[in-house]
Every structure is written in C-alpha cells, then in structure tokens.
Chain A
Amino acid sequence: MNSDFRPYAAGTQPPLDVPDYRGTAKRHPLRARHPMPQTITETTGPRFSERHFPVMADMTKSTNGQAALGERIVVAGRILDEDGRPVPHTMVEIWQAGASGRYDHPADQHDAPADPNFHGDGRVFTDADGNYSFLTIRPGAYPWPNHRNAWRPTHIHFSFFGPAFATRLITQMYFPGDPLLPFDPIFNSTPDVAARNRLIANFDLAITQPDFALGYRFDVVLRGRGATPMEG
C-alpha cells in the first residue's frame, strides 16, 4: 500500500490570512482545517496525456506564427519530490502577462499595450528525469489595486499536479534582482525566508541559448511520501 504524503514543513507555505494582501481578508477560512487521514482519494491523482493536453512549449508565437514582442527567455528546471526523486511525465501549466505587463484577459484593465501575438499560455510535461523546459517572453511588472502604488514583481504562474491529489501545487516564479520583491505582499507571505527565496528563478548561462534567449532555472519540489507507512 502507498504511504501518506508528508505534511508541509513549518513555515514553508504561506498562511491563508495575509493582512497585507487585501484579497485574503474575506476569503480565508476562520476555522482550522479539519484533520483527516489520507485515503485513496488523496494518494492517487489524475493522469494527463499529451493526446488530450497538447504540448505548447513555445509561447512566443501566435497561432498564426507571428512573433510576440519582448525579450525571449527559456525557463527550464526539474521537478523533484521531497526525497529528491524526479517527478516524471507530469503536466505543467503556465500563464503570464506579456512584455508590457498586461494579461490577455478581459479583467485586466491596465493601460499598457496589448500584444495580439501573445496570449500567455503554455503547457509542457516533464521527461523521465523530471526535467521541463519552455520558451516564452519575459513578462512585465504591472500595478494592482492592493494598496497605493502597488506593483506586482515580474512573475510567471505555474500549475503542477504530480502523482496525487495531495501533491497539487499552484505557485508563481519570480526573477532574480527584481526591485519590487521586497514590497510584494504575495511574495513575502511565506514565513520561511529560504522557502520564499526558492520562488526566485536563477539566471543560468547553461540554459541560455547563444544569439537567441536568456535562460532561467526554476526547480520545484512537490510533496513526498512519508518514510514509514502509517497504519493502513
């Protein structure tokens, strides 16, 4: 029988109530989460096939082949579990703003030029060793109405599934040296500083493609199973 997925390590996940992030005020539950032993519902999860979820590893071209504006970047990394084992053949979903800091989304009213050749969605699968890679445009920073002069640091949204319902992860990747990071309540909500800083990608010359695109490495860790199976 499969053993349980381990609880999150203290401080490595953001709390639900983040006073500096106003959106959490009316959306965070007041009661503690109800403890329950994991069952087959939590220790198994959906499998996604490229047949139904086609790979979209180049986000820099429109559907009719026109090039999006902005600085091309390669983002690559490895998905491991907490024990350092690769998470193979798992789906990774990606979405982001374009180079001007605007999303191709009707709710985004930021007065920055839209790019008709950039929708901002991507999808890749890890290989047998947990590696993934995609080509995109470096997104721009943008203002948001959280507080006066609030700006989101440059970021890319990621969705990971891993092997089980219990390993679901949605996060954001940030860029090294971004001067907005110290001011962002979303980035800063994770109490553990090292855990927070692991959301910042590293510039990587080995991923950088000569005469073409800068490369960034973003490694991700999904929950691992406990070493000792709990009583079944």
Chain B
Amino acid sequence: MGFTTASQTIGPYWHIIEDKALADLTRFGAEGERIVLTGRVLDGDGAPCSDACIEIWQTDPPQSDTFPGWGRANTDATGAFRLTTLKPGPVAGRGNTQQAPHIAVCILSRGLMHHLVTRAYFQHEPLNETDPLLVSIEDPAQRATLIAVPEATGVWRLDIRLQGDNETVFLDV
C-alpha cells in the first residue's frame, strides 16, 4: 500500500501543453443545448489570476465519441476563462437523491500547491432547492458562489474568488 504522490503547483508555464481546442467540448459535433461557461478567477486582492488553468468535467450528457465531457481553458489578462459545452441535465446522487445539473470545476495555477475543486450550478434551476451539496451549504451567500448566472442567451457566468470577501466554496472531494 502506498500514499498518493504529493501535488505540486502547475506553475506559470503550463501553456506549453495548452491546446485551445480543448476549451470547446462541442468540437466533435455533439448535439444539445450549447452553452458558454465563463468567469474570472480573482485573488485575495481582487486582482485577476491571468495564468490559471480551468478544467471542467461533467457526467451529463454522458461521454461519447462526440462529447468528451472534459475541457480545459486558460485565463487571460483579465482573469477570464471561457468554455463551450452542452448544458447538463440532472444527475443521480447518492442513494435515492438527485443532483441538480452541474459541472465540476478544477482550478490549477501558480500559487496553488494543490488544485481546487468547485462546481458550477445554474441559477433558477428548480432542482437547486433540493440538491444535496447546495442544501449542505447553509450560508446563502456562500451557496451562491457555486451558482452560475445567465449573462446573455446561452452564456453563464461563474466568477471564482480564491480568497477573502465572497470567497468561492471549494470542495473536499
């Protein structure tokens, strides 16, 4: 039996392996409700994190030849990331529970010794009221850090605040 290898920061030079195409999960022709998930990554001073790597994973629609379910995007000089994907539907939870539509978000950057994990839910989704994770976050302001808001038709915004005022709820998974 061994122990999981220690994490180290992704550093500022991970773009050496970057492929911009990975930010579009619809690139293989998957059909469904196309959405853009965008937002800014901000540090404890509210300054943009311009060298972060944002990865997403969703189990709905299921991974297939036309839908990878996984994507990766950089943040730009304003800290903004932008991913194109398909809007997920509800997903089975533990036991007999149901989870509201959500996308898992992984944040990697210089200054983060270990990746952070959060989720993007969708505002006004009725299932949000009974989603086991959302319900477990008692403070409405903290809960709101996981809920993307519509910015334009098909465009959803989820800002990620790494530290301080309105800090994003990061998950211990």
Contacts and interface: CB of A to CB of B under 8 A. Distances in A.
A29 B4 contact: no
A80 interface: yes
A27 B91 contact: no
A18 B114 CA distance: 11
A179 interface: no
Contacts of B113: 13-16, 18, 21, 24, 186, 189
B95 A29 contact: no
Contact of A170 (B115, B132, B168): B115
A178 B101 CA distance: 48
Contacts of B17: 93-95, 121, 123, 159
Nearest to A105: B13
B159 interface: no
B173 A36 contact: yes
Interface stretch (A67-75, A126-134, A194-202, A205-213): A194-202
Contacts of A157: 8, 10-11, 13-14
Contact of B6 (A24, A120, A171): A171
Given A13-B7, A26-B43, A165-B57, A42 B63 contact: no
Interface string B134-170: 0011000000000000000000000000111001111
A163 to B, nearest CB: 12
Contacts of B51: 107
Interface in A24-39: 24-39
Interface stretch (B31-39, B102-110, B122-130): B102-110
Interface in A153-205: 157, 159, 165-166, 168-172, 186-187, 189-190, 195-196, 198-199
Interface residues of A, number: 75
A31 B68 CA distance: 33
A167 B112 CA distance: 17
Contacts of B14: 95, 157
A42 B173 contact: yes
B49 A13 contact: no
Contacts, number: 204
Given A24-B113, A29-B163, A170-B108, A232 B94 contact: yes
Contacts of B57: 41, 45-46, 165
B87 to A, nearest CB: 15
B137 A34 contact: yes
A107 B5 contact: no
A12 to B, nearest CB: 5
A80 B99 CA distance: 31
Query: Which of A107, A121, A165 has the most C-beta atoms of chain B within 10 angstroms of its own C-beta?
Result: A165
A105 B16 contact: yes
Contacts of A111: none
4 closest A-B pairs (Cβ-Cβ)? A23-B111, A46-B70, A27-B111, A33-B172
Given A33-B172, A80-B2, A95-B17, 16 more contacts: A9-B4, A23-B9, A31-B167, A33-B170, A34-B172, A45-B57, A95-B13, A107-B13, A108-B13, A120-B16, A123-B17, A165-B104, A171-B6, A195-B6, A220-B5, A232-B95
Interface of A: 8-9, 12-16, 18, 21, 23-42, 44-47, 52, 80, 82-84, 93-95, 97, 103-105, 107-108, 119-121, 123, 157, 159, 165-166, 168-172, 186-187, 189-190, 195-196, 198-199, 220-224, 231-232
13 contacts: A16-B113, A23-B111, A40-B59, A45-B70, A52-B68, A95-B14, A95-B17, A105-B12, A157-B8, A159-B10, A165-B57, A195-B3, A221-B4
